[in-house]
Amino acid sequence: MRNKYSVFSLIKNALSYHENWQRAWKDPAPKKEYDVVIVGGGGHGLATAYYLAKKHNINNIAVVEKGWIGGGNTGRNTTIIRSNYLWDASAGLYDHALKIWEGLSQELNYNVMFSQRGVMNLAHNLQDVRDLKRRTHANRLNGIDAVYLSTEEVKKFCPIINTSPDIRYPVLGGTLQRRAGTARHDAVAWGYARGADAMGVDIIQNCEVKGIKRNGDSVEGIETTKGFIKTKKVGVVAAGHSSVIANMAGLRLPLESKPLQALVSEPVKPVIDTVVMSNAVHAYVSQSDKGELVIGAGTDDYVSYTQKGSHQIVEGTLNAILELYPIFSRMRMLRQWGGIVDICPDASPILSKTSIKGLYFNCGWGTGGFKATPGSGDLFAHTIANDEPHKLNAAFNLNRFVSGDLVDEHGAAAVAH
């Protein structure tokens, strides 16, 4: 039985110096057979297991993770959550996630620190202005809150932005989604892990998948570093390593894995109470509750699994940040890191069945998967349980690369997801 977190449990545990908190999830050895095995213990994988157990009454589930849970891109992103995408299919997908975010802490009994502080996107040239206005209208038609702001309104909403007309890329306007914001990324993985574990899901860490066993066109199980696990359904949620797993099953995916970098500054007092993104100059920034500026940089253009990335990418982002926010000019950066993101040609994800029965892929989230974590888990669980996609993820099938029915968000929406 899982103890509930509350102010009373906090007081009770304070009396014993916080030494007797119950484990948030177990550390089981893998069983011989499961109904479903999820490959990848990041936010999306754990959320998938959680919703499979909660909404589809499947409780013989394992999540296998080669490292530790939330140690991949879940712990490496810049925690931005928004749903202001241009196309209807994307709007449906990302707003489904945003609606779940709004009640997630209560549902999981775990504070994911979801903060609807708003996300502002800046326009720096005439085409940006047209694109952002178009996107604002498209969002409103899809029931997503969006407003277009003039330069003065941008300045009023975030006073530290340099809106002077004589900078290299002047701010000509922007959009604002007030329901958007940030959440604590580690807490999302931990909250879903605790919730899934409470319903009997086995979370198996330090267990790397080495092969996928097939019998003709169906899945029979997976080879792992902790032995063979028999299962008829495998859901792969392996982000940057999706192609590696696909190759084990003899599948090819339309993905390229590239390093995406982010960095944080030394902690300072509150200075920016929203998230500001600028696609034209590729700079986005928010401030964590610890006071660090969280800055997202871009991807390198070559395939790499190194979790590093090139120096000039960070340099380019910081140049843009400094021009937009002269107040940051003497701040020091504390840490920089990279994550490996799996990018689709149309910059939209794949949540899909494959040509192999019982093998499902949830991948291609590229540079912007964190915001979709709850929705992705919910819809992927539906797809696995029913062997059919939900109507919200039907457009995100693997077959779209054959039919040509792409969801082209690359240039159309906010590029930096």
Partner 1 sequence: MFLINCPYCGERDQQEFKAGGEAHIERPKQPTELSDDEWAEYLFMRKNIKGIQFERWNHAHGCRKWFNMVRDTSNDEIKAIYKMGEKPPTQ
Contact set with partner 1 (CB under 8 A): 241, 243-244, 247, 252-257, 300-306, 308, 310-312, 342, 345, 401-404
Nearer residue to partner 1 within complex by CB, 17 or 302: 302
Nearer residue to partner 1 within complex by CB, 270 or 404: 404
Note whether 361 and 376 are within 8 A (CB).
no
- Residue 229 CB, nearest distance to partner 1 (Å)? 22
Nearer residue to partner 1 within complex by CB, 106 or 306: 306
- Residue 247 CB, nearest distance to partner 1 (Å)? 8
Nearer residue to partner 1 within complex by CB, 150 or 312: 312
Element (H, E) at 136: helix 126-141
Give the C-alpha distances (Å, rounded to integers) separating 346 from 46, 241, 381, 412: 26, 19, 23, 10
Nearer residue to partner 1 within complex by CB, 153 or 408: 408
DSSP reduced 3-state for 95: helix
- Residue 298 CB, nearest distance to partner 1 (Å)? 14
**Going by C-beta distance under 8 Å and a sequence separation of 6 or more, which residues neighbour residue 362?**
44, 45, 48, 235, 236, 237, 349, 350, 351, 376, 380
- Residue 48 CB, nearest distance to partner 1 (Å)? 22
Nearer residue to partner 1 within complex by CB, 167 or 303: 303
Give the C-alpha distances (Å, rounded to integers) separating 60 from 65, 115, 297, 364: 17, 34, 40, 27
Which residues on neighbouring strands pair with residue 287, listed in sequence order? 293
**Going by C-beta distance under 8 Å and a sequence separation of 6 or more, which residues neighbour residue 288?**
79, 182, 264, 267, 294
Nearer residue to partner 1 within complex by CB, 213 or 308: 308
- Residue 270 CB, nearest distance to partner 1 (Å)? 35
Alpha carbon distance 342, 357 (integer Å): 23
Q: To which residue do tokens 């940051």 refer? A: 328
- Residue 363 CB, nearest distance to partner 1 (Å)? 11
In the chain, the N- to C-terminal Cα span, in Å, equals 39
Nearer residue to partner 1 within complex by CB, 177 or 299: 299
- Residue 344 CB, nearest distance to partner 1 (Å)? 8
- Residue 223 CB, nearest distance to partner 1 (Å)? 17
DSSP 96-134: HHHHHHTTHHHHHTS----B---EEEEE-SHHHHHHHHH
Nearer residue to partner 1 within complex by CB, 174 or 298: 298
Nearer residue to partner 1 within complex by CB, 122 or 253: 253
Alpha carbon distance 313, 322 (integer Å): 15
Nearer residue to partner 1 within complex by CB, 108 or 246: 246
- Residue 250 CB, nearest distance to partner 1 (Å)? 12
**Going by C-beta distance under 8 Å and a sequence separation of 6 or more, which residues neighbour residue 216?**
none
Element (H, E) at 8: helix 7-15
- Residue 300 CB, nearest distance to partner 1 (Å)? 8
Q: Residue 79, exposed/middle/buried by CB under 10 A (0-12, 13-18, 19+)?
A: buried
Give the C-alpha distances (Å, rounded to integers) separating 100 from 82, 235, 412: 12, 21, 25
- Residue 404 CB, nearest distance to partner 1 (Å)? 8
Q: Residue 387, exposed/middle/buried by CB under 10 A (0-12, 13-18, 19+)?
A: exposed
Q: Residue 208, exposed/middle/buried by CB under 10 A (0-12, 13-18, 19+)?
A: middle
